[in-house]
Amino acid sequence: MIKDKNINLITNIISILENREDTWYFELKKKNSNSLTILKEWCRLNNFNYININNYPVLSFENNFYLIYNLEIDGTGNFELLIEEYNICNKYRICQIRKVEKPIITSTKKLYKFIKDIKKELEISFIEKIKIEDFIYCSPLDKYSALCNFKNKLMSYSKEIKGIKISVINLFFGKSPYLFKGNEINTIEELMLLKERSKWNSFSQLWLKKNWMKK
């Protein structure tokens, strides 16, 4: 028996939405979807707040935050944000997480900390097409971190592929923070091509190979 009554309530609305439409989780990304309307109305009736955090549905009640995670979708998030995890649905997990918010960087000190925290995270995890909007700030941990849904991720990539540099500043200009010899790496496909770089005379030839493979 789960002591947290909020978990039981959230499980009920997940069941309602899933029985109504298999793709309800994907539909939440659309502002005018029926699934989103139903979820918001449920939240209103049960005194929850609904928040969309980088395509993760998060329900909050007082100071408790619950993230709904679809096991069939690639996403990423720092395990330090997790308080407790409930695996009570076929395709979903309900994660109670610490309070998170969009980062507001208003000083040089905050910028330095953002760069330090994010660089450390990106050095061990490659996240496809990562953007500045994909990061959050957790005040209880005093830490900036990635938290984004529908994103492919590769852990410990730097152990296999040497020479990748991280430029967090690139995120502020809409560019990839992953660089190899000054060139941006945006996808896992591009990253994997670097494993073959010993076969090519220049970095540009890797891109020629990638484009040829797509034909």
> What's the pLDDT tens digit per position in 157-203?
888 788 899 999 999 999 999 999 889 999 998 888 887 765 555 55
Radius of gyration of the chain (CA): 20
pLDDT in tens, 153-170: 888 888 878 889 999 999
Tell me the one-letter amino acid at 195.
Answer: K
- Separation between Cα atoms, residue 187 and residue 192, nearest integer Å: 9
pLDDT at 74: 84
- For the chain, percent of residues with pLDDT exceeding 70: 89
DSSP annotation of 184 reads E
**Distance (Å, rounded) from C-alpha 84 to C-alpha 66?**
9
> b vs e for 111-125, b when ≥16 Cβ sit within 10 Å of the residue's Cβ?
eebbbebbeebbeeb
Residue 215 clears pLDDT 70, i.e. is over it: no
- Identify the burial level of 89 via C-beta atoms within 10 angstroms of its C-beta, where 0-12 means exposed, 13-18 middle and 19 or more buried: middle
Q: Look at the block and give the residue holding tokens 């709904």.
A: 68
